[in-house]
Structure 1
């Protein structure tokens, strides 16, 4: 009997969201979507870059998958002073950088002209002390 009552309650949030929606335009009158026919491949001549920093390979795996799906170029951000292979061994350093808003150097910072050629840039980073690795912030702040 509990299962029968549980199923209707799953639809309550959906019904509430639909009833409270601010869009009163009927679906037949909405404009056609401008998304390309194949959402996995960008249309036109836009250039895409996946820039990432990865300490243990997790972010790298995600970056490589995005490259597979989008045919983007890939760039690995490397710290000028490399982190330990296990970030827990560098915990004090990482915490100090995060809490004091420090910007460690990037060893392989590309020229601004190279980055400017991209229309879309995906940026990946591990989450250290509730924010991206500060070396990624250094990378982002180097470009307009």
Structure 2
């Protein structure tokens, strides 16, 4: 009988030790999971902060206007990237009489307009009062015959740019400096400060792959 009691007591002690060991193992596992979740949450929060920082406009968007004319779509891409980087309002200028979609025909019309010093009528969703609320104007266009398109001359002569800062950007097919385009902007936008040395120039065939170049340029000129 004594032998049986001793055996039962020994069995009870062993069972108790096994239970304690099992509980300790569960407790450790729960702690590890909590730490892992905390680490994951902290990592997610840090990632969210980085994303928020990356999308913050680099300039005061409420005071920035991005106005442009685009024929082939290259300047349209550039203008949208500028607006995205600045948080500025995007305004497109279009001639009331659209240019042909045929390249050679458009080239001929553009040359005739330039020779005649024409001022084509335009459509633009911008009032004089609205423009007065902006300090900085990013001005986009394709270089045509080493100058800005005549419809953009119409635009510049239709508004008061006194006291504003104009930052040019354009696409080109060989005239990387813009030819006389920058001088035209300066002479027509009377009273404005034209940042002629800070322009952005991208060859038409390279525009599609130039988003980062545009974003970096905005960061540089907006300082």
**Contact 1:51/1:121, CA 8 A, preserved across alignment:** yes
Q: How big is the alpha-carbon RMSD for the aligned residues of Structure 1 and Structure 2?
A: 1.9
- How big is each residue's C-alpha offset from its partner over 1:29-53, in whole Å with a ceiling of 9 and x where there is no partner? xxxxxxxxxxx6125x851010000
**Contact 1:109/1:139, CA 8 A, preserved across alignment:** no
2:83, 2:97 → 1: CA distance? 27
The equivalences for 1:1-144 within 5 A come to: 41-43=58-60, 47-108=63-124, 110-144=126-160
2:102, 2:75 → 1: CA distance? 14
2:76, 2:102 → 1: CA distance? 15
1:133, 1:63 → 2: CA distance? 16
Q: TM-score, normalised by structure 1?
A: 0.66
Q: TM-score, normalised by structure 2?
A: 0.44
2:146, 2:69 → 1: CA distance? 16
Q: How many residues align?
A: 105
- How big is each residue's C-alpha offset from its partner over 1:89-127, in whole Å with a ceiling of 9 and x where there is no partner? 222211011122111011235221011111111111111
1:118, 1:86 → 2: CA distance? 36
**Contact 2:119/2:154, CA 8 A, preserved across alignment:** yes
Q: Secondary structure at the match of 2:155?
A: helix
The one of the two structures with greater contact order (alpha-carbon pairs below 8 A, sep at least 6) is 1
1:90, 1:72 → 2: CA distance? 30
In our comparison, the structure showing a higher alpha carbon Rg is 2
2:126, 2:84 → 1: CA distance? 22
